[in-house]
Amino acid sequence: MSTTADITNTDITPISFSHIMYWHLSAYWVATMSFLALDYYWYSNGISKYKFSISADGRPFAPTRMIYKAIVVAICNQIVATPFIYYITEYCIDQSWQLSLYDIYYIPLYFLLYVLLADQWFYWTHRTLHMNRFLYKHIHSIHHQWVFPMAIRAIYAHPVEHVIGNVGSLMIGPLCFPINGALLCLWVTSATLNSVLAHSGTKIYMLTDEAHDMHHRVLLCNFGVMGLCDRLFGTHRTARIRPEEVYNQSHT
Ligand SMILES: [Zn+2]
Ligand SMILES: [Zn+2]
């Protein structure tokens, strides 16, 4: 059971940049490579029943050169984001606010706050990128080059979008409500996996829905992380998409 002493315990391992990066990068690459292997298997065997949507040729995969391009962009974006994550974890987290990992009463509360803040942050930065023609044309259109999302394309984006939108939504919660380093690793891992799952286009009971897949097909709906902001501000969509609505920038 937690005590007041737990909350001010200075023996707790402080939040470490290397810990955060280890969990963030491990979660991202293990998950994306697993989905890539699955997609390739399904593609090779002509299986699409596990995908929300499929490409124009009826197969759930993209050409090899696009896969390589997505991997290179992901690595570049992770390098660009590293100084920001370093700065946030090393200098902006108030260590005196640490909570014990064993204080189970606070874990759901903090994670709820983090999810709500991440949804707000991602929703508004994402929606702004769509509403402003200049920002969409020069920044966000890169993320939408492919209509059908794959896990490996989760952070296929302009570096400015990656740092402000993706890293911002990941770290806005810990910045506003700092917690123990172990819980921060858990949050970063969960949020990273959520982003990969949202782009996987794969039907996984209770873990994925079609919302972000749908966003990639018709653009002006489902801007948020968890759907709360979309429901609040009238952009949530579950209705069936008509063929003529599908966005067609270049690739499928
Ligand atoms: Zn996306
Ligand atoms: Zn978008």
The 10s digit of each residue's pLDDT in 41-55 is 888 887 778 888 766
Q: From CA 26, how far away is CA 34, in angstroms rounded?
A: 12
The total of structural domains in the chain comes to 1
Whether 119 and 198 have beta carbons less than 8 Å apart is answered as: no
- Taking the centre of ligand 1 as the mean of its atom positions, its distance from the CA of residue 130, in whole angstroms, is 12
Cα(129) to ligand 1 centroid in Å equals: 12
Residue 96: CB partners within 8 Å, gap ≥ 6?
8
Total residues found in the chain within this entry: 252
The whole-angstrom separation of Cα 141 and Cα 163 is 16
In a domain, 3, yes or no: no
Q: Token digits for 8? A: 């001010």
State how far the Cα of 84 lies from the Cα of 168, in Å rounded to an integer.
9
Q: Which domain holds residue 170?
A: 17-251
Q: Which ligand is nearest to the CA of 213?
A: 1
Q: Compute, in angstroms, the gap from residue 216 CA to the centroid of ligand 2.
A: 7
**If you measure from the C-alpha of residue 8 to the centroid of ligand 1, how many angstroms do you get, rounded to a whole number?**
40
CA angle 80–78–150, rounded 5-degree value: 135
Q: Is residue 6 part of a domain?
A: no
| CA–CA gap between residue 170 and residue 20 (Å, rounded) | 11
pTM: 0.84
C-alpha span between 47 and 97 (Å, rounded): 50
Residues in the chain where the model's pLDDT stays below 70: 1-15, 54-61, 91-104, 239, 241-252
Amino acid in position 99? L
Q: Which two tokens stand for residue 197?
A: 């799952």
Contacts of 171 (CB under 8 A, 6+ apart): 84, 85, 88
Q: Is residue 211 part of a domain?
A: yes
Place of tokens 């429901």: 231
- Residue 145: closest CA among 135, 134, 157: 157
Q: How far is the CA of 107 from the centre of ligand 2 (A)?
A: 31
- For residue 2, the model assigns a pLDDT of 42
Whether 65 maps to a domain, the answer reads yes
How far does the centroid of ligand 2 lie from the alpha carbon of residue 96, in Å? 37
**pLDDT at position 249, please?**
53
4, part of any domain: no
Is 42 inside any structural domain? yes
> Residue 2: inside a domain, yes or no?
no
In a domain, 170, yes or no: yes
* Span from the CA of 93 to the centroid of ligand 1 (angstroms): 28
Q: Which ligand is nearest to the CA of 156?
A: 1
**Predicted local distance difference test score (pLDDT) of residue 53:** 73
Centroid of ligand 1 to alpha carbon of 53 (angstroms): 14
> How buried is residue 243: exposed, middle or buried, by Cβ count under 10 Å (0-12/13-18/19+)?
exposed
What are the start-end ranges of the H helices in the chain? 4-7, 17-44, 64-87, 106-131, 133-138, 159-161, 168-176, 181-200, 211-218, 228-232
60 CA distance to ligand 2 middle (Å) = 20
Nearest to 55 by CA among 245, 217, 237: 217
CA of 43 to the centre of ligand 1 (A): 21
CA 5 to centroid of ligand 1, rounded, Å: 43
Give the number of the ligand closest to the Cα of residue 166. Answer: 1
Q: Which ligand is nearest to the CA of 195?
A: 1
